[in-house]
């Protein structure tokens, strides 16, 4: 875990990138006023094989509207750029690949926004370890074209390299809460999200906060602020994408650590949000609120586990374990400690 120093409130402005990308299948964006419908923005770090699978699935997808794919390689060794050097000319869409030197997922996402700014009506976000079904591109536009909707998010179905522990499945460790299609959601992750490009400017939240580059959570931080400012994000169960969970992430130790990290992510969002919450962002009072929230989750989770200890057999106990671990993440943030999942170490070589 990492100690959380109080970061500066000011964030560097989002750069509008009009230069030639490091690699592209057609000329650079010139800002000629002719906007395409949407850009699919993908941040990647040392997952060239999975990235190729994603691009292949996008190539098979049906699309009524014109689009480009913007890949931002955050690997100092430029593994994605190398893997795509001989990528065939896409049929009907353009592939743009750029390199972001600053480490961290938020920096990579901001580079993608900088490249796309001013050239598209919509931004679509997916992760580099996912694939999209053939109907996905048309599906995202069905909601996005509605005037009352600023963004739409959907589920991610996990396909496991090996069967994870029973408690992980029963406790919903890999699943988002069940949500009805059309329901408004208070925040969304960028593992499956489309938003109107002008929403970022209209609601005054124009970039991913790079204080979250190593810990993750910049997507939750951004979309939660959008909703508070008046944006509408809806959920669509038909907009499902599929992620591949590798062997090492099917182990109980990794799953438990991820649950703590997820709790810490939401705790850090609660701690630093400038638009809502008790006290000043990052203040002692705000930290007390985060700790209290975490302790409440830990207590509820512990009671569920104690009263239903067979976590490999019953969803109640397994769900209690998930709540307990996430509560630990909240409490850690209150004391300035959190899991830095995206920190660059020899043992940690993937964005997730």
**One domain for residues 241 and 327:** no
Q: Give residue 352's pLDDT.
A: 37
Q: Give residue 19's pLDDT.
A: 39
**One domain for residues 116 and 235:** yes
- What is the rounded average pLDDT of the residues 262-281? 92
Which domain covers residue 222, as residue numbers? 2-248
Please list the residues that pair with 38 across neighbouring strands. 67, 122
Q: Give residue 343's pLDDT.
A: 75
Q: Give residue 27's pLDDT.
A: 39
- What is the rounded average pLDDT of the residues 105-114? 96
| Alpha carbon distance 349, 352 (integer Å) | 10
Q: Are 119 and 69 in contact (CB under 8 A)?
A: no
Q: Give residue 35's pLDDT.
A: 78
Burial letters for 235-271: b for 16+ Cβ neighbours within 10 Å, e otherwise? bbeebbbbbbbeeebbeeebbbbbbbbbbbbbbbbbb
Residue 91 banded pLDDT, cuts 50, 70, 90: confident
331 pLDDT more than 80: yes
**One domain for residues 29 and 176:** yes
Instruction: Identify whether 140 is part of a domain.
Output: yes
Q: Give residue 4's pLDDT.
A: 56
- What is the rounded average pLDDT of the residues 260-275? 93
- What is the rounded average pLDDT of the residues 286-295? 97
Structure tokens at 91: 């049929």
Instruction: Identify whether 212 is part of a domain.
Output: yes
Q: Are 112 and 87 in contact (CB under 8 A)?
A: no
- Final residue of a structural domain among 248, 277, 292: 248
Residue 34 banded pLDDT, cuts 50, 70, 90: low
What is the percentage of the chain residues whose pLDDT exceeds 90? 74
- Final residue of a structural domain among 248, 283, 309: 248
- Final residue of a structural domain among 223, 248, 273: 248
7 pLDDT more than 60: no
DSSP-derived secondary structure letter, 233 = E
| Alpha carbon distance 307, 303 (integer Å) | 6
17 pLDDT more than 80: no
What is the percentage of the chain residues whose pLDDT exceeds 70? 88
Work out the end-to-end distance of the chain between its first and last CA atoms, rounded to an integer number of angstroms: 17
49 pLDDT more than 90: yes
How many domains would you assign to the chain? 2
Compute the mean pLDDT over every residue in the chain, rounded to the nearest whole number: 88
**One domain for residues 148 and 184:** yes
Instruction: Identify whether 343 is part of a domain.
Output: no
Residue with tokens 């430029």: 78
Residue 277 banded pLDDT, cuts 50, 70, 90: confident
Q: 144-179: per-residue pLDDT in tens?
A: 678 899 999 999 999 999 999 999 999 999 988 889
Instruction: Identify whether 89 is part of a domain.
Output: yes
HEC sequence for 316-344: HHHHHHHHHHHHHHHHHHHCCEECCCCCC
**One domain for residues 256 and 244:** no
Half-sphere exposure of 327 (CA within 13 A, CB side): 18
Q: Phi and psi of 244, rounded to 5°?
A: -100, 125
**One domain for residues 27 and 46:** yes
In terms of Cβ atoms closer than 10 Å to its own Cβ (0-12, 13-18, 19+), residue 318 is buried
Sign of CA pseudo-dihedral 233, 235, 238, 242? positive
Q: Give residue 10's pLDDT.
A: 42
Q: Give residue 62's pLDDT.
A: 85
Q: Give residue 319's pLDDT.
A: 97
Q: Give residue 1's pLDDT.
A: 59
Residue with tokens 């053939």: 134
- What is the rounded average pLDDT of the residues 173-200? 93
| Alpha carbon distance 241, 194 (integer Å) | 13
Structure tokens at 113: 């926004």
Residue 189 banded pLDDT, cuts 50, 70, 90: very high
């Amino acid at each position: 875990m990492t100690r959380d120093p109080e970061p500066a409130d000011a964030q560097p402005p989002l750069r509008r990138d009009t230069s030639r990308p490091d690699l592209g299948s057609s000329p650079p964006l010139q800002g000629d006023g002719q906007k395409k419908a949407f850009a699919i923005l993908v941040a990647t770090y040392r997952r060239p094989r999975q990235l190729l699978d994603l691009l292949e699935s996008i190539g098979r997808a049906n699309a009524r509207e014109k689009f480009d794919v913007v890949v931002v390689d955050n690997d100092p060794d430029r593994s994605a750029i190398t893997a795509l050097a001989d990528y065939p000319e896409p049929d009907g869409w353009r592939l743009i690949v750029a390199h972001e030197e600053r480490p961290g997922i938020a920096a990579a996402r901001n580079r993608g926004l900088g490249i796309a700014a001013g050239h598209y009506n919509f931004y679509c976000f997916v992760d580099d370890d996912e694939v999209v079904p053939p109907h996905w591109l048309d599906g995202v536009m069905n909601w996005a074209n509605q005037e009352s909707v600023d963004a739409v998010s959907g589920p991610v179905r996990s396909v496991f390299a090996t069967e994870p522990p029973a408690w992980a499945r029963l406790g919903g460790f890999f699943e988002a809460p069940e949500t009805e299609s059309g329901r408004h959601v208070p925040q969304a992750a960028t593992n499956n999200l489309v938003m109107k490009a002008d929403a970022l400017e209209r609601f005054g939240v124009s970039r991913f906060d790079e204080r979250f580059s190593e810990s993750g959570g910049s997507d939750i931080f951004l979309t939660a602020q959008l909703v508070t400012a008046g944006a509408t994000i809806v959920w669509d169960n038909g907009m499902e994408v599929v992620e591949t969970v590798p062997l090492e992430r099917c182990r109980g130790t990794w799953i438990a650590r991820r649950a703590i990290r997820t709790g810490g992510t939401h705790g850090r969002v609660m701690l630093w949000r400038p638009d809502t919450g008790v006290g000043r962002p990052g203040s002692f009072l705000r930290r007390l609120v985060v700790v209290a929230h975490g302790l409440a989750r830990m207590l509820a989770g512990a009671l569920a586990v104690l009263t239903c200890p067979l976590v490999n057999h019953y969803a109640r106990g397994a769900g209690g374990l998930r709540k307990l671990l996430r509560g630990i993440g909240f409490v850690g943030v209150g004391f300035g400690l959190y899991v830095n999942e995206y920190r660059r170490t020899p043992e940690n070589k993937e964005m997730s």
